[in-house]
Amino acid sequence: MPGLLKRTPVRYALNAAAALGLYIVIMSLIGGKVLNRYQALMLIPIGYNIILAVSLNLTAGFLGQLPLGHAGFMSVGGYAAALFSMSVSLPPSFELPAALLIGFTVSAMFGVVIGLPALRLKGDYLAIITLGFGEIIRVIILNLKFTGGAYGLKGIGRQTTVTWVYIFVLITLYVINTLIKSRHGRAIISIREDEIAAEASGIPTTYYKVLAFSISAGFAGVAGGLYAHYLSILDPSTFGFMRSVEILVIVVLGGLGSVFGSVISAAVLTILPELLRGFAEYRMVIYSLLLVTVMIFKPSGLCGRYEFSLGDSIDGLCASIRARILKKGGGGDASGS
Amino acid sequence: MTFVYLVIIGLQIGSIYALVALGYSMVYGIVKLVNFAHGDIIMVGAYCVWYLMSRLAVPAWLAVPAAIALCSVLGVLIEKIAYKPLRNSDRLALLVTAIGISLFLQNAVQLIFSADPRMFSNIFEGTISIGDRQFSNATAVTIATSTLIMIGLTLLVKRTKIGKAMRTVSEDGEAAQLMGINVNNTISFTFALGSGLAAVGAVFYCCSYSQIQPTMGNMLGLKAFVAAVLGGIGSIPGAMIGGVLIGVTESFTRGFISSQLTDAVVFGILIVVLLIRPSGIFGRNIGEKV
């Protein structure tokens, strides 16, 4: 019995079942009018913020480099996806995934082009240069003809639904989780731990840095595509430096190097300003004070590097129940790694 | 003539950037923190002068020192409350705290004075004409005062005891402590100095742009930061040169290319400099030790 849950196919089946279960719960909450229309629509921003945060966590948390231009990639992907879906007419169930794929590809290509020179720098300098690239992308979009310039892009089909967002959140989580747990992921983490040691061990650090950076950029593009097809307008001024900062705040608050933390923190930080709407003008002040307080008292973020794993949790639960039945005392090891 | 005009306007904007960049650079040199709240300290300074002058009818010669004092105190308070507890933790946590403080200042000011832009009347009335071009007195005062301040600052850092302490702490904080230098006081002094300079920058900024709003610190702060990096972050002459370079580049782009592309050109220069010489014009390249 304990060995069963350690097997990969069983784990996959378990996670797939849990994902499906959560989807059914969400849809029935919407269908049963437990969540009103406004609350149901809030699920979409939560979804694309999760994608943004998890993808940024790949570079900030696992690769250990700090980029400050994530909003730039989001806008590239958003514009690419929107321009694609506006120029073609495919069946509805194909159009959005195709547009998002375009968004991913274009954004990831930008990631490679920007990453190759930028990733030669480290730490604060990398943050500054990505910030520069992010601002340049915004200014260029602002001055191009086919992106609508300062007026933005209007009339994008409202195709983003809760279901699509849910599917793409799952794809993002799956790809990034498996990437991190693979050989490539360990190479990426080794760069975070000690770049010189990693290079000395024969890891092609430049390759892995650019790989992680461009995958991260690609998923930011997917989030941008979802965002574009949710709001149906794209305004270049919303992709400024402050948007990149917002995403970074989500990641750091959730815990650098914790995908689980990013998901929780994206959800909480998307809902929190809405919950504080009752305090209207005080909400942003409270939000910023909360941010500073959390950082002062728990600088590693709310979840640190903790990862939630359904299989491990059930495993631990079973072990502790068994231990209790056998009266051998001592609980099981309930925490996963 | 256009050329000279653009250079002078560029010097004016550049001096403001340089004053703000000095704050970024000094703080970075000492605590290795990109102080994102610095841009918002400028904004607080601008609101302070505006409130004192237009609401309480305080004369300018009193309002400006009051704003400098307020900003200095604010800078020290922020350092003591928010940055000091995190001095030994992860750099990213410190960065996020700075972002949090920046958001807090913006929203607190917005709460008190509303988000509407306020008009700021030029303190230095009158114009000077050079050739066939007219310059406002503010241009002359900005360039002259900034030059004086920078000379003073250089003397302060090079010649005085506290200046020596600042240089020592930025070189090696722990060794400085062993030599009997009060590191906490030195850091507080640096924050006070940087924030005071930001307030001076705020006054000059308001005189040339005549409009203030709670988010004005974002772009001004960002460009001043670019100036600091361009000159070599942590270096005082670097911040001055960087500021002037950014200012002149901006006014040339505005004059000869397009006013919409100024930001792209400024950040483009930043990228080129970082790729060719990552430590900036005056920065020292410190090799990594295994």
Q: Do residue B104 and residue A285 have CB atoms under 8 angstroms apart?
A: yes
The domain tally of chain A equals 1
Average pLDDT rounded to a whole number, residues B214-235: 86
State which residue of chain B sits closest to A126, comparing Cα positions: B274
pLDDT of the residue at A158: 84
Flag whether residue B96 sits within 8 Å of chain A, measured between CB atoms.
yes
> Which residue would you say has higher pLDDT here, B69 or A148?
B69
Flag whether residue A117 sits within 8 Å of chain B, measured between CB atoms.
yes
- Domain B2-276: CATH architecture, name and number where available: Orthogonal Bundle (1.10)
Neighbours of B185 (CB within 10 A): 12
Q: Measured between alpha carbons, how far is A153 from A83 in angstroms, rounded to an integer?
A: 9
Give B287's DSSP letter: P
pLDDT of the residue at A253: 85
Taking the CA atoms of A112, B284, B33 and A186 in sequence, report the sign of the dihedral they define: positive
Percent share of chain A, pLDDT over 90: 34
Q: Measured between alpha carbons, how far is B77 from B40 in angstroms, rounded to an integer?
A: 14
Flag whether residue B288 sits within 8 Å of chain A, measured between CB atoms.
yes
Flag whether residue B257 sits within 8 Å of chain A, measured between CB atoms.
no
Q: A142 lies in a domain? A: yes
| Residues A287 and B103: beta-carbon distance below 8 Å | yes
Neighbours of B212 (CB within 10 A): 23
Q: Measured between alpha carbons, how far is A244 from A131 in angstroms, rounded to an integer?
A: 8
Query: Does the structure show a pLDDT above 80 at A337?
Result: no
Q: A152 lies in a domain? A: yes
Q: Measured between alpha carbons, how far is B45 from B71 in angstroms, rounded to an integer?
A: 6
Q: A322 lies in a domain? A: no
Distance between B260 CA and the closest CA of chain A, angstroms = 8
Query: Does the structure show a pLDDT above 80 at A92?
Result: no
- Model pLDDT for residues A130-176, shown as the tens digit of each residue: 888 888 898 888 888 888 777 888 888 888 888 899 999 999 999 99
Facing residue for B92 by CB, picked from A66, A282, A288: A66
Beta-ladder partners of B127? B136
Q: Measured between alpha carbons, how far is A254 from A263 in angstroms, rounded to an integer?
A: 8
Q: Do residue B268 and residue A291 have CB atoms under 8 angstroms apart?
A: no
Facing residue for B96 by CB, picked from A132, A249, A289: A249
Domain boundaries, chain B: 2-276
Band of residue B115 on the pLDDT scale cut at 50, 70, 90 = confident
- Model pLDDT for residues B249-282, shown as the tens digit of each residue: 999 998 888 877 888 888 888 888 888 887 778 7
Helix, coil or strand: residue A259: helix
Locate A254 and state its tokens.
């959730």
Neighbouring residues of B155: CB distance < 8 A, sequence distance ≥ 6:
none
Q: A283 lies in a domain? A: no
Average pLDDT rounded to a whole number, residues A212-216: 94
Q: Measured between alpha carbons, how far is A167 from A19 in angstroms, rounded to an integer?
A: 10
Q: Do residue B90 and residue A135 have CB atoms under 8 angstroms apart?
A: no
The boundaries of the domain holding residue A136 are 36-240
A63, amino acid identity:
L
CA A289 to chain centre: 24
State the number of CA atoms in the 13 A half-sphere of A136 facing the CB: 17
What does each C-alpha distance from A192 to A5, A52, A185, A189, B89 come to in angstroms? 30, 20, 11, 5, 17
Locate A212 and state its tokens.
């992680």
Q: What is the mean pLDDT of chain B?
A: 86
B 165-224 → A contacts, CB under 8 A: 218, 222
CA B81 to chain centre: 21
Give start and end residues of each alpha helix (H) in A182-282: 183-193, 195-200, 205-231, 241-254, 259-275
pLDDT of the residue at A335: 46
Q: Do residue B95 and residue A129 have CB atoms under 8 angstroms apart?
A: no
Q: A47 lies in a domain? A: yes
Residues A221/B35/B97/A215 CA torsion (nearest 10 deg): 20
Neighbouring residues of B81: CB distance < 8 A, sequence distance ≥ 6:
none
Band of residue A334 on the pLDDT scale cut at 50, 70, 90 = very low
State which residue of chain A sits closest to B98, comparing Cα positions: A292
Size of chain A, expressed as the number of residues it contains: 337
| Residues A228 and A150: beta-carbon distance below 8 Å | no
Q: Measured between alpha carbons, how far is A58 from A244 in angstroms, rounded to an integer?
A: 15
pLDDT of the residue at B287: 55
Q: Measured between alpha carbons, how far is A263 from A51 in angstroms, rounded to an integer?
A: 8
Of A91-95, A191-195, B133-137, B211-215, which gets the smallest average pLDDT?
B133-137
Neighbouring residues of A209: CB distance < 8 A, sequence distance ≥ 6:
A63, A65, A115, A119, A191
Mutation to test the B interface, candidates A238, A242, A287, A292, most B Cβ within 10 Å = A292
Q: Measured between alpha carbons, how far is A178 from A106 in angstroms, rounded to an integer?
A: 23
| Residues A250 and A53: beta-carbon distance below 8 Å | yes
